[in-house]
Amino acid sequence: MSAIQPMDPKIFELIEHEKQRQREGIELIPSENYTSAAVMEACGSILTNKYSEGYPGKRYYGGQENIDAIENIAIDRAKKLFGAEHVNVQPYSGSPANTAIYFALLNFGDTVMGLKLDHGGHITHGLPIAFSGKAYNFVQYEVDKNTGKIDMEVVRKLALEHKPKMIVAGFTAYPRDIDWKKFKEIADEVGAISVADISHTAGLIAGGVLESPVPYFDVVMTTTHKTLRGPRGAMIMCKEKFAKAIDRAVFPGLQGGPHEHIIAGKAIAFGEALNPEFKIYAKQIQTNARALAEAMKKRGFNLVSDGTDTHLILADLTNKGVPGKQAQMVLDSVGITLNKNTVPFDTRTPMDPSGIRLGTPAVTTRGMKEPEMEMIADWLDRVISNIEDTALHTKIKEEVKEMCLKFPVPGIN
């Protein structure tokens, strides 16, 4: 940071403010986490200066000997971590990675199945106003209204009816584990390509907490942050028979020069995830999520699917009489960050929905455990139950800060 302050004091000041916010607050957004200092150093390194269009050994520019070695290390570590046949570590983020998969294996207008957005799916899983929904004929499956869980027999009936060319399994706001074997059986029954989006649970899968779809599915995409605790980015894993199509879709199909400073950060994060300590971390994420869910239920929160198998909790605040947007804003003011979120069969709008989405990857990285989950649930309840009590909010903000300062954020002195 020493070079930023004299060159651009305003940006320096804002970064310092963000550092303070992260240090003094509780991060509950389930797609956010803290990287190690080593990952951050790689992402801010001189590797950002190098253009490297192409792949290791097949670049379009010279001077690639160090870049090729770094990218190959990232690939090899990802293969070892997930047991994948082929890995492409170049996608810039999750949405471009999913787009690359579609571009590689589908024709525009092909029928695809994906989880509906307000039932836990992602915008790239067929949202009508997004590229995926406009370019392809998406058939969307939903969760069961009574259980809040995916009914695999309903998925099978939809697949038999619509005969999709591809079935996408994965989520961004679904709290439960996924039956990968059953999804694969359905895909095989109708002759569909099977694609798993494990962006949220990759760290739990790498840590051995959840079952992996890699042995079964044709293609698996994941972001490299979230529970995997690496830099913002993505990668695509696939069976060898799809390797050439996937690589061509990423480059030159959709991307130019890869971000090799980020790929170096990915390599470091994969190395960290291969350490035995990562399994302990992954298990604690799940333990914390279950503890937080139970503590919230004790305080009258209505949880979609009545709990969680993963790192993620989705709460419907209708019974609390507080919309998700208002809850997010007021909780922000006391130093607790989460996001407003639609819930299945929501009667409110996406920008002012009924629910909130929260998770435990970041707080677990800081070392928080079950006692802190109980404290967090209590703060959530006190704020939401007293949404207009600003004096109470001020008191809770100090309580939050006091607790957070006991748990350092990696990379922040």
6 contact partners, CB below 8 Å, separation of at least 6: none
Catalytic-residue membership of 223: yes
Q: Are 37 and 231 in contact (CB under 8 A)?
A: no
Catalytic option among 172, 223, 227, 342: 223
The catalytic position among 23, 41, 51, 369 is: 51
Is 232 assigned a catalytic role? yes
Asked if the bond preceding 361 is cis, omega within 30° of 0, the reply is no
User: 3-state class of 407 per DSSP?
Assistant: coil
Cα(26)–Cα(368) distance, rounded to whole angstroms?
10
Q: Which of 118, 197, 218, 247 is catalytic?
A: 197
- The answer to whether residue 189 is catalytic is no
226 catalytic residue (yes or no):
yes
Rounded Cα–Cα distance for residues 126 and 131 (Å): 8
DSSP β-bridge partners for residue 195: 168, 219
Catalytic residue among 24, 32, 41, 53: 53
Nearest to 265, CA basis, from 221, 310, 311, 232? 232
Question: What Cα–Cα distance (Å) separates residue 412 from each residue in 1, 9, 116, 398?
Answer: 12, 19, 38, 20
Q: Is 197 a catalytic residue?
A: yes
Measure the CA–CA gap between 55 and 70, rounded to whole angstroms.
11
Given 116, 176, 184, 226, the catalytic residue: 226
Q: Kindly state the DSSP code that residue 251 receives in the 8-state scheme.
A: I
Beta-strand runs (E) in 16-104: 26-27, 54-55, 58-59, 86-88
DSSP letter at 359 equals: E
Contacts of 205 (CB under 8 A, 6+ apart): 82, 198, 211, 212, 213
φ, ψ of residue 340 to 5 degrees: the values are -65, 150
Catalytic annotation, pick one of 59, 116, 149, 232:
232
**Is the C-alpha dihedral spanning 140, 141, 145, 148 positive or negative?**
negative
- Which positions are annotated as active-site residues? 51, 53, 197, 223, 226, 232
